[in-house]
């Protein structure tokens, strides 16, 4: 029985599929990567802005609730003082 290495066929097929890329293909690939990076950067900024606005709204609600509680306490203290 012959000992056959299963990876030898894979390596041979990979070697036959290798080819040289033209300058135009390299330029197109670089441009696509650049566009993808810019879109990713824009998405990060948009996500940060959305998160910031959301946190700001939450902060506004918390401050409003705390001020309402403080005002209610002041009104209650004035009512009990008089």
Average pLDDT over residues 19-24: 77
The answer, yes or no, to whether residue 12 has pLDDT greater than 70, is no
The answer, yes or no, to whether residue 20 has pLDDT greater than 80, is no
Token readout for 73 is 């306490």
The answer, yes or no, to whether residue 5 has pLDDT greater than 70, is no
In angstroms, rounded to a whole number, what is the distance separating the alpha carbons of residues 78 and 70? 12
**Interval 23-66: pLDDT, tens:** 888 888 899 999 888 898 899 999 999 999 999 999 999 999 99
Average pLDDT over residues 59-78: 94
* pTM score: 0.49
Residue ranges per structural domain of the chain: 23-81
Buried-exposed string 51-80: b where 16+ CB fall within 10 A, e elsewhere: eeeeeeeeeeeeeeeeeeeeeeeeeeeeee
């Amino acid at each position: 029985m012959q000992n056959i290495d299963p990876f030898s066929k894979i390596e041979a097929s990979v070697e036959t599929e290798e080819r040289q890329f033209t300058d135009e293909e390299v330029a197109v690939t670089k441009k696509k990567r650049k566009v993808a990076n810019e879109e990713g950067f824009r998405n990060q900024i948009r996500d940060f802005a959305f998160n910031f606005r959301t946190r700001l709204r939450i902060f506004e609600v918390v401050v409003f609730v705390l001020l309402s509680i403080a005002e209610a306490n002041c009104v209650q203290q004035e009512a009990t003082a008089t």
